[in-house]
Chains A and B, each alone.
Chain A
Amino acid sequence: MRILIIFCLFLLCNPIQAAEPVTAELLSEPFRESYQPEVKVSGNVIVGVMSGAAQAALREDRLGVHVDSAMAGTEVCVRATSNDGIYQSRNHYRLPAATDQAHLPYASGMGDVLGGFGPRGLAVAVASGDCETTAAGTFLVAGALDEDADTPVTIFVNGFGATDVFVATGDGTDLEPCEYIDEGRRTTYDFYCTLASVPAGPRSVTIVRERFGREQPEISLKLIGLGE
C-alpha cells in the first residue's frame, strides 16, 4: 500500500509532458545570414513555402516541419528571403528520424531585422538537399511548432516578368490564379499562391507562369505538409 501511495505521489509530481519536438542538426557553421543593401537576386522561382506563422516562428526560434519516413535523416536547406532582397539566410540541416514536428534551430543574430518585416515581407523555404544544389523539387512546409496541421500554406513565387501565375494541384488541370503583390518592393518575389492546406503525405503542386499569354516553363514541386 505504501509503495502504491509513493507511486501515486510520484505521478502527481511529474505530470505527463507533451512530446517535445525533436531538434534537427544544424550543419551550417557559422549560421549564415546576411543583411546587405547590395541585393543579389537568385534564380529560384519558388522562394517560400510556409504557413502564416512561419515568419514569427523564425524570429522566436520556433521553426518546425513535419518529417515523414522518406525525409528522415536527410539534409534540407532552409532559406529565408526578404521581399526587398536585403535580408537573406541559407543554412543546412540534417533532419532527425520521422517525427510529427521537428525543430529547425534558427540561430539568428538579427532578431530586430526579422521583426521589421510586414506580413508578406519574408519568405521561408525548407527544400530537400543541401544549399549548394538548388534544384530541389521537394519542399517541407515551414511552420511554427505546435501549429495546426491544416493551416493554409502560402507559396511565394518569383515570376521573373510573368504577367500571370497559377497554381495547380493533382493532375495540373485545375489552375488557381495566384495573387500579385502590389505593395512594397518585389525584388525577390512578386506573386503568392495560397493552398487551403497541405497533407503530411507528399502532394504534387505545379506552378504555371504566363508572360503576356505565353507560357513559361512549369515548375513542379512536392510539398510535405505540417502533420497528420
Chain B
Amino acid sequence: MTEPAEPATASPFEAGLDEIELAPGRILTASFIAALVVYLLFLLSRWLAPGEWEFALEVETEVAAIEFRGEAVTQWRVDGAILCTAGSVTLPDDYRLENARTVCGGRRWSGWRVDQPEQVLSITGGSTAMLESSNGRLAVSLRTDAASLGEYAAVGAVEPVALGDSLNLFWDTAGSGVSLTFPFTGATTLGRAVNWSDPGLLRSGSVSVFTADESADRRTQVDDAELMLGDQVRLAGNAEDDIWPKGFLRVGEEGLIEAVAFGRADSLSIDRYGESGYDFRPGFLARVAGDPQIAFWGSMLVAYMTVLFGLIPFLDERPVARQHAVGRAPALRWFLRYRQR
C-alpha cells in the first residue's frame, strides 16, 4: 500500500504571499472607477468654471475707446495738440485760438494751442476716451461724469489747470513727424461695428491667449486668432476684483492707431460684420492642454492606474500566476524576503 504523498513544501515566496491580505478584485475595480470618475468630474468642473486667461491684443485701427479705471491718474504727453475745452476752463490768453469755432466745432467750445514741449494731461479714473484717426488727423475726446476729468499743464508755460468734464484734442498727423504714445489702464474697445455712416474701422490685428495660472514659466500660449478688417474687439476688466486691462496706443505720422493691450478675463468679445458677435475663449482641448492642474492630476491618475494594473496579477487565484507576478516585481520580492527573516 502506497503511502500518500506528502504535500510539497511551500516555497518561502508562497508562504509570504499567503500572509499578505491582498485587496479583493472588486475593491480594486471600484477604486479604479472612482479615481476615473473623480478625475472626469474635476475635468468637467475646470471646463465649466469661468476660467481666467491672459489675453494679449495687437491691433492696427482707426478708432479706439478707453474707459479709464482704478485710482491711479494716467498721464499723456500731448505736445502739439489743439485743445478744445467746454465750460469755464481758462488757459493763458496768449494761447487762445481766434478761430476756435472753426477748429473745435460748436459754440460751447474754446480752442487753445500751446507751442511748448512737455505738455502733460493727467486723466483721472472714471473718464472715457475715444480716439479716431482719419484723413491725416487724430481726434481724441475725453469725457467724465464727474466735475473734472483731470489736469493740463505745459512745463514752463502753463501751470496745472483743472479741466472740466469735456475735452477734445486734435493733431494733424500727416507729414508732421508726430509720434504719440498713450498708456492706459481700463476697459478698451478697438474698432467699431461696421455701419454705413462711419468710415473708421479696425484694420487688422491678432489676439493671443495665455494661461493666467502660476505655471512654471508664468505664461503659456494656448490659443490665438487673427482679426479682420471691420472687427470690433472689446477687452473688459473684472470690476469685482478691480482688475483692468493695461496697454498703450501709439500714433505716428502715418495716422494709424497701433494698440497693444493685455488683460485677464474669461473671454474676449469680438463683433464681426454679418455675425452676431462671439466671445473668444480657448477651446476645450486648448483649455485642457493649457491647464497645469489638469496636467498634474492627470499624471497622478496615470501613476495611480499603473500601480492598480500592476496589482492585477496578484489577485489571480492560481499560485503560479501570483508567483510569476512576484518574480516580476523585485521590490515585492525583496519585501517578502525581508519578512522571512
Residues on the B chain within 8 Å of A84, using CB: 276-277
Residues on the B chain within 8 Å of A212, using CB: 105, 132, 139, 141, 168, 170
- Cβ B198 vs Cβ A213 within 8 A: no
Shortest CB distance A86–B (Å): 5
Residues on the A chain within 8 Å of B281, using CB: none
* One of B3-11, B12-20, B189-197 at the interface: B189-197
- Cβ A213 vs Cβ B109 within 8 A: yes
In B256-291, the 8 Å CB interface with A consists of 269, 271, 274-277
Selected contact of B198 from candidates A37, A161, A163, A215, CB within 8 Å: A161
- Cβ B141 vs Cβ A163 within 8 A: yes
- Cβ B105 vs Cβ A214 within 8 A: yes
Shortest CB distance A216–B (Å): 10
Q: From DSSP, what is the main secondary structure of chain B's interface residues?
A: strand
Say yes or no: is B231 at the interface (Cβ < 8 Å to chain A).
no
Residues on the A chain within 8 Å of B185, using CB: none
In B83-130, the 8 Å CB interface with A consists of 84, 104-106, 109, 128, 130
Hey, what's the 0/1 contact readout for B135-147 against A, CB within 8 Å counting as 1?
0000101010000
Given that A160-B197, A180-B128 are known contacts, is A210 also in contact with B275, CB under 8 Å in the complex?
Answer: no
Say yes or no: is B173 at the interface (Cβ < 8 Å to chain A).
no
- Cβ A213 vs Cβ B277 within 8 A: no
In A74-115, the 8 Å CB interface with B consists of 84, 86
Residues on the A chain within 8 Å of B143, using CB: 163-164, 180
- Cβ B128 vs Cβ A37 within 8 A: no
- Cβ A43 vs Cβ B166 within 8 A: no
Instruction: Please name the residue on chain B nearest to A215 by beta carbon.
Output: B106
Instruction: Please name the residue on chain B nearest to A161 by beta carbon.
Output: B198
Instruction: Please name the residue on chain A nearest to B278 by beta carbon.
Output: A37
Instruction: Please name the residue on chain B nearest to A190 by beta carbon.
Output: B193
Q: Give the CA-CA distance A215 to B105 in the complex, in Å.
A: 7
Say yes or no: is A120 at the interface (Cβ < 8 Å to chain B).
no
- Cβ B271 vs Cβ A213 within 8 A: no
Shortest CB distance B251–A (Å): 15
Say yes or no: is B60 at the interface (Cβ < 8 Å to chain A).
no
Say yes or no: is B67 at the interface (Cβ < 8 Å to chain A).
yes
Residues on the B chain within 8 Å of A211, using CB: 105
Shortest CB distance A206–B (Å): 14
Q: Give the CA-CA distance A86 to B274 in the complex, in Å.
A: 10
Shortest CB distance A50–B (Å): 23
Q: Give the CA-CA distance A80 to B274 in the complex, in Å.
A: 20
Given that A161-B198, A212-B132 are known contacts, is A37 also in contact with B193, CB under 8 Å in the complex?
Answer: no
Shortest CB distance B20–A (Å): 63
Residues on the A chain within 8 Å of B104, using CB: 213
Residues on the B chain within 8 Å of A215, using CB: 105-106
- Cβ B276 vs Cβ A43 within 8 A: no
Shortest CB distance B96–A (Å): 16
- Cβ B84 vs Cβ A39 within 8 A: no
Given that A163-B130, A185-B271 are known contacts, is A41 also in contact with B196, CB under 8 Å in the complex?
Answer: yes
Residues on the B chain within 8 Å of A38, using CB: 274-275
Hey, what's the 0/1 contact readout for A37-64 against B, CB within 8 Å counting as 1?
1110101000000000000000000000
- Could you jot down 24 A-B contacts, CB within 8 Å? A37-B274, A39-B274, A39-B276, A41-B193, A41-B196, A43-B196, A43-B197, A160-B195, A161-B192, A161-B198, A163-B130, A163-B141, A164-B143, A180-B143, A185-B277, A186-B193, A212-B105, A212-B132, A212-B139, A213-B105, A213-B109, A213-B141, A213-B168, A215-B106
Point out residues on A near B: beta carbons under 8 Å.
37-39, 41, 43, 84, 86, 160-161, 163-164, 180, 182, 185-187, 210-215
Point out residues on B near A: beta carbons under 8 Å.
67, 84, 104-106, 109, 128, 130, 132, 139, 141, 143, 166, 168, 170, 187, 192-193, 195-198, 200, 269, 271, 274-277
3 closest pairs, A vs B, by CB? Answer: A213-B105, A37-B276, A214-B105
